[in-house]
A and B are shown apart, each in its own frame.
Chain A
Amino acid sequence: MGREEILEKVNEIFQEVFDDDSIEVFEETTADDIEDWDSLMHITLISEIEGEFGFKFQMKDVVGMKNVGEMLDIIQENI
């Protein structure tokens, strides 16, 4: 799966989790850019991405991801 395709899927998951179809995420997007992206949402995202891509994040990923780009890196490594 190419990076762009992964980003597209991740974007859908963001829209689903935040219940907002207008959300668009980019490589540089951080939690500061999305109003509701708090720890509760973060966990929900983690869990949805795990379910969608069929792997488990490591704890360092959960606490260490700085932006969507890093999230994509980890997904790419694991699928």
Chain B
Amino acid sequence: MLPKFIELKKNCKKDMTGLHEMKIALMGDCATQHIATAIKGFGFTKGFAFDVLDTDYNQVIPQVMDQESETYKFGPFIVLMAMCVEKLYEEFVAAEPEARASFAKKKIDEYVAYWTTLKERCGCKIIMFNFPEADDRVYGNFGSLVDSSFIRQVRELNLLLGDKAQESGNVYIVDVAYLQNAFGRSFLHDEKLYYSAKMTFAPDALPYIAKEVVSIIENITGHMKKCAVLDLDNTLWGGVVGDDGLDGIQIGELGIGKAFAAFQTYLKELTKRGVILAVCSKNDEDKAKEPFIKHPEMVLRLEDIAIFVANWEDKASNIRYIQKTLNIGMDSMVFFDDNPFERNLVSSMIPEITVPEMPEDPADYVSFVQRSNLFETISFSKDDSKRTKQYREEAGRVQLQASFSSYEDYLKNLEMVGQALPFDTFHYPRIAQLTQRSNQFNLRTIRYSEEDIKNIALDDNYVTRYFTLKDKFGDHGLISVVIMKKEEEALFVDTWLMSCRVLKRGMEEYIMNSIVAAAKEAGYDKLRAQYIKTPKNSMVEHIYDNMGWKALGDGNYELEVGNYENKKTYIN
């Protein structure tokens, strides 16, 4: 259950010191005060102190077009555009009948023009609502066949919004149409409140709207869920495998097994999008693994699970072990367990992990996870689907390491091959995604959108490198990004981040060698760099010191390129 609007309203008065501050300018063609309140109040529950500029009713055009507008003076990080379907309809009915079939195309041009101007003038990110499918039903069911009907135009406009937002790289869409499908038109909208107060969303719906907006903002700022940790008995199948045996568990045809099969299918879809699955179960390991290997109706198989922990230790300790092995933040993990006792234990021992209150009926598992929006993302690259495989390969490396007497021998034996290349179009999505996802090995934690990355790649004032690494166990893919800015005296390392999957393989040294080589190639004698501390990046606090750079204080460093000796690595 989400907090009610009135709770969100109260949150706005609370002390927000120490929270993540962010400026949001809100503009729309409906009344936006309630939306502003809901977003600010919901943001508070997720650790944000939003400073919301709520511009006047129906002032989108002057706010965007006037260079001196409140919005530009305010300097927002995010502009939220709350366009409502009611206004859209007013415009639609005012349009000549022959213009209606191209209504959506005309509107999208208008929105893209706003986006472009906003971006040029204040470099902000833009979040915009799409349109709930409110239809006049003038044509009834036949409306879905008539290209000049309102319903057709709304649907087309929503598709176009998605297309253009994707192209833009800095525009994110709140899928209000989905919310209406999930909760219903009468939940989302109260006619009398629109007619009397121009409110497009009913107060009860506002927390849901605010939640979606804040989810997107969390993603923009790098807070996303990366891993689902799963219990087995009564979570992935019905019954207890230790008692009921392989044939007795309910998965697929048996008992309520269809509900569990649907849940597994959903989890498997998440893995294709890059979410990692881990198992954490109180069981004997061989019994726990048996269904994954032998049961014909299991959807999830061992290869879908990045790390499998089944023993009789307490779950909090096992989750800590999983977190350490995967080397991801505890706050990026979600723990699914049907047992309230286990959930309570884990959430009290590990406050950072997300522990959803699973519904009692397994038939509701899928819709529960869908609606909870736990795995929101703002990017997708084709490499995402390989992530589980990469974490499994990692487990193989850990075993190999154990078989060598020295770490050096192990590294030699890995047969590593690295590559350092300037940014290319093909990799913009993955590069942008890494700048958004990486928290630990990230020297300055600057987040870039795909559009930003493209601009940097094409700008002669920057030198860019992405790094790939593979070894005999598999391909890590693109695992590190370096952006260097040309300054008068020195080449400045604006961004250096690396996936923690490849820590301590000599990749750090390989990258450093490559940074120096790039500086030489660009004709610089000197490199400059900076470490900006965040709550998560202490692991790289001293990396420049350790690499022999000169510390200038306040996290600033420089390096005379001529004095640098290439570091030894086992990466070819």
Contacts and interface: CB of A to CB of B under 8 A. Distances in A.
B501 interface: no
A43 B195 contact: no
Interface stretch (A2-10, A23-31, A44-52, A69-77): A44-52
Interface residues of B, number: 19
Contacts of B37: 40
Contacts of B33: 40
Contact of B5 (A39, A42, A44): A44
Contacts of B196: 59, 62-63
A39 B13 CA distance: 19
B13 A43 contact: no
B192 A47 contact: no
B6 A62 contact: no
Contacts of B190: 47
B197 interface: yes
Contact of B192 (A16, A19, A59): A59
Contacts of B204: 47, 51
B34 interface: yes
Contacts of A42: 197
B10 A47 contact: no
A61 B120 CA distance: 46
State the majority secondary structure of interface residues on A.
helix
Contacts of A46: 193
A11 B473 CA distance: 69
A58 interface: yes
A16 B6 contact: yes
A68 interface: no
B160 to A, nearest CB: 32
B301 interface: no
B9 interface: yes
A48 B197 contact: no
Contacts of B10: 19
Nearest to A47: B203
A19 B5 contact: no
Given A58-B192, A62-B193, A43 B6 contact: no
Contact of A62 (B9, B192, B203): B192
B203 A44 contact: yes
A38 to B, nearest CB: 9
B202 interface: yes
B544 to A, nearest CB: 50
Contacts of A62: 192-193, 196-197
B9 A44 contact: yes
A66 to B, nearest CB: 15
A70 to B, nearest CB: 16
B258 to A, nearest CB: 36
A47 B197 contact: no
A57 interface: yes
Q: Counting chain B CB atoms within 10 Å of each CB, which of A51, A57, A58, A59 scores highest? A: A59
Contacts of B192: 57-59, 62
A9 B6 CA distance: 16
B15 to A, nearest CB: 15
A46 B193 CA distance: 10
Contacts of A16: 6
Contacts of A48: 6, 203
B490 interface: no
Nearest to B195: A59
B9 A39 contact: no
B128 interface: no
Contact of B197 (A19, A43, A51, A57): A43
16 contacts: A16-B6, A17-B6, A19-B13, A40-B33, A40-B34, A46-B193, A47-B193, A47-B202, A47-B203, A48-B203, A51-B204, A59-B191, A62-B192, A62-B193, A62-B196, A63-B196
Given A47-B202, A62-B192, 7 more contacts: A42-B197, A43-B34, A44-B34, A47-B203, A57-B192, A59-B191, A63-B196
Interface of A: 16-17, 19, 39-40, 42-44, 46-48, 51, 57-59, 62-63
